[in-house]
Amino acid sequence: MSSIPQHKNNWGNDPELTDKSVSANIERIRILRNEWYGHATDFSLSDSDFEQRWNHISQIVKELEGYLGTATKYQDTLTELKSCCMDPDSIQPYIDKLLAVEGLQTDVTNLKEGFGELQTDVTNLKEGFGELQTDVTNLKEEVEEMKKTNEKSSTQGLNQASRPYLVHSRFTGNATKGDGTCQVPLG
């Protein structure tokens, strides 16, 4: 079922120490996983036991990378894991910073939403302003039209109202020489 051939002792059995095949290394990882994690009820190691097991895992990873052709990608990851800090008190500041960044991301998201609403409001204002400009332009045209109509009416009315006086009237008055009054014919 697998394209990887079995090691000399077959799947599910401990491989020989000298067997460096891919299947032997996969079997070693399975065994280590079961011993240290899958079936362990209590697990603690002395520093020397940790170093011995770490070197064993590192050798397995190195041999598998030789087969996979991934350079040292997984070996580098193991090196980082070995030197990383696992003390909860020392990582708390990093957790706090990540939570602060998460809060900032929420704030930025809220600002983006608020900005979108503001853009909508500005668009609505622009549309309303355009309608207002149209109304003002129409009012100006109506006022100009009314002025023209009033000027014509006023001029025509004045001409019609004063015509009888100009045609039929004469100004007469009592005036004496030198008092600034005189008679002027109007019609």
The values of phi and psi at residue 170, to 5°, are: -135, 140
pTM for the complete prediction? 0.43
Residues whose CB is less than 8 angstroms from the CB of residue 20 and which lie 6 or more positions away in sequence, other chains included: 63
Question: Residue 39 has which token pair?
Answer: 């079936």
- For residue 177, the 8-state DSSP code is T
Q: Which amino acid is at 127?
A: E
The pLDDT score that the predictor gives to residue 168 is 44
CA 73, 76, 81, 85 dihedral sign is negative
C-alpha separations of 111 from 103, 143, 171 in Å:
12, 46, 85
- Distance, in Å, from the CA atom of 47 to the CA atom of 169, rounded to the nearest integer, reads 135
For the chain, list residues with pLDDT below 70.
Answer: 1-2, 154-187
Range list of β-strands (E), 17-159: none
77-106 pLDDT tens trace:
888 888 887 777 887 888 888 888 888 888
Per-residue CA distances from 12 to 19, 37, 50, 108, 109 (Å): 15, 17, 25, 54, 52
Where exactly are the structural domains of the chain? 22-85, 86-169
Strand 184-185 relative to strand 170-171: parallel, antiparallel, unpaired?
A: antiparallel
CB 25 within 8 A of CB 63: yes
The predicted pLDDT at position 160 comes to 60
The amino acid at 8: K
Q: Does residue 166 contact residue 183 with C-beta atoms inside 8 Å? A: no
What is residue 3's predicted lDDT score, i.e. its pLDDT?
A: 81
